[in-house]
């Protein structure tokens, strides 16, 4: 859930020294184990973030999809759809007016 509400933090990759070797924040050379561990954390972050995006995209209309598709984080994409859904719950319809039409107009 922390991917949808913005609590997930993308791991920061190691910096590179002048020779192109990865170094830690303190300037010490990164070990092979630390490099592999960080690579795995970055991969897991991207996989889970992509999964949330995929699930979110499958639940919304094409119009809302075009609006949020350019946003880079899943949490930023989730906020507009939550706001749109909240406004739908509060909306009411006139007698004889289809609720589906009202929902399409709101989205």
Q: What is the pLDDT of residues 25-55, one digit of tens each?
A: 877 888 899 989 999 999 998 888 888 878 8
pLDDT, tens digit only, all 107 positions of the chain = 455 556 677 888 888 888 888 888 877 888 899 989 999 999 998 888 888 878 878 888 887 777 777 766 655 656 666 666 666 656 555 655 566 666 666 65
**Domains of the chain, residue spans:** 15-106
Q: DSSP string covering the chain, please?
A: -TTTTT---PPPPPEE-TTS-EE-TTSPBPPHHHHHHHHHHHHHHHHHHHHHHHHHHHHS-HHHHHHHTT-SSHHHHHHHHHHHHHHHHH----TT--HHHHHHHH-
């Amino acid at each position: 859930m922390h991917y949808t509400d913005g609590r997930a933090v993308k791991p920061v990759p190691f910096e590179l020294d002048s020779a192109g070797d990865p170094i830690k924040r303190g300037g010490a050379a990164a070990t092979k184990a630390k490099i592999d561990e960080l690579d795995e954390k970055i991969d897991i972050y991207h996989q889970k973030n992509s999964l949330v995006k995929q699930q979110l995209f499958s639940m919304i209309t094409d119009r809302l999809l075009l609006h949020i598709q350019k946003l880079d984080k899943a949490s930023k994409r989730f906020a507009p759809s939550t706001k749109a859904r909240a406004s739908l719950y509060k909306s009411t319809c006139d007698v004889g007016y289809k609720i589906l039409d009202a929902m399409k107009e709101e989205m």
